[in-house]
Homo-oligomer: A and B are copies of this chain.
């Protein structure tokens, strides 16, 4: 049974409309006059973060990946509950708390509760539930994209993947500034909360880019029943990324499949004026799945579209 098979079994149980078929970034439940938006993501040592990672970065990431799900629904974060597993290393725990403090202060989201358990010498499993409030009738999902709609992303794509290459010694940057910028993108992702709120009532579909731009685009395609045609040359790369990996097809494919970007991927009618700085990367067409074009020509998809869980 793969993770997807398991989730399919869970989907049979999760019939409440607020669960959105377990196919969205977050649950969305009417509560009073507004909507309660809730998400829960876990990070496992050696799967989602390196054992050698700075624990402060892990704390930051635990918070940021969950807030990114709220950003994708245009929700204002209200609080967090954390599930922390201690593995008997006080230095690690203390450094983690420092990172937690930094993130709580930076994002202005209070820690309201949770649980602490001991895993002995096992791998750390860290859990976070973040919840927020969304106003307005429509909370964006993955399923509203239609043929003719434009496809956009916030920010740059690929920097976190480049940072991971540096962190694991698979690449080396000759200048400190490039190295620092890319490592920062990997270690300290910045969920696009403001952009998410500005965009949420205007988009036809929106999600955050966590597993790879192409894989996440295929999820909007699948949920919406359209084809997402992405122009490889339009995918926005940072100067730092290009300094390290260049700008050729291979570099662009790596950026498009690397994941951990925590930018927003969205679709909207081409007439809609969007209030945020975005890059137009393609167009929705009748059909299914994701396809790639370059200089007006269809090109092959890479073997894997992103980070597929075992």
Please list the residues of chain A having a beta carbon within 8 angstroms of any beta carbon in chain B.
1, 3, 6-7, 9-10, 13-16, 18-20, 22, 24, 26-27, 29, 31-34, 36, 38-44, 47-48, 78-79, 81-86, 90, 93-94, 97, 100-101, 104, 110-120, 122-123, 125, 127, 129, 131, 133, 309-310
Contact = CB atoms under 8 A, between A and B. Distances in A.
Given A93-B1, A118-B309, A123-B122, A13 B112 contact: no
Given A13-B104, A16-B79, A125 B118 contact: no
Given A86-B6, A93-B1, A131-B38, A117 B112 contact: no
B79 A113 contact: no
Contact of A127 (B24, B83, B123): B83
B19 A117 contact: no
Contact of A29 (B79, B114, B122): B79
A248 to B, nearest CB: 34
A82 B81 CA distance: 13
A174 to B, nearest CB: 36
Given A40-B113, A47-B119, A117-B125, 17 more contacts: A9-B97, A13-B101, A14-B110, A14-B113, A18-B110, A18-B112, A24-B113, A26-B113, A27-B79, A31-B32, A31-B78, A32-B33, A38-B112, A38-B129, A44-B85, A83-B83, A83-B127
